[in-house]
Amino acid sequence: MKAEGLSEKNESEWEQTNSDAIAYIKLSLSDEQILQFAAESNAKILWNKIKSTFTGQTEDRKIDTGNELKNLKINSNESANDYIARARSIATKCHSLGLDFSPRELIYYTVRGLKGKFVEVRDILKT
C-alpha cells in the first residue's frame, strides 16, 4: 500500500524500505511459512496476514496450556522430582504465553495432581 503522489526519490526510498522490511520479516519465518507468504510484496499486508494467521494459534495455545496446568496429574511411573519439573515447565510455558497464575494457584494444581502413593502427602500438604 504505497502512498499516492510520492516523488520519484520518495517512491524509490519507499520501495527500498518495503523490500528491507519484507526481507527482515521473512528471515524470521520457517521455510514452510515463507512459502505460505511468498507472494506478498507489501510489508504491511504481509505483517497483517502473519498476525491474523498466528493470533488464533496463540490463543489456542494459551487455552491448552492453562488446561494442561489445571488438569495436571502425576503419572503412575513418574517420580516426584519429574512431576515437579513437569509442573514447573508448564508454569513457565503459561508465563511465556502471558498466562500468569499466582504461586498459590500453581501449588494448588500441583498438589491436587498427586495420587497413588502420594495421596497421604497430598492430604498433608492440603492442610
Span 6-34, pLDDT tens digits: 788 888 899 999 999 999 998 988 888 88
Model-wide pTM > 0.75: no
Asked if residue 14 lies in contact with residue 41, where contact means CB atoms within 8 angstroms, the answer is: no
Q: How many CB atoms lie within 10 A of CB 99?
A: 15
Give how far Cα 94 sits from Cα of 32, 76, 83, 113, 115, Å: 26, 24, 16, 17, 23
- The overall average pLDDT reported for the chain is 88
DSSP H helices, 71-118, are 80-96, 103-112
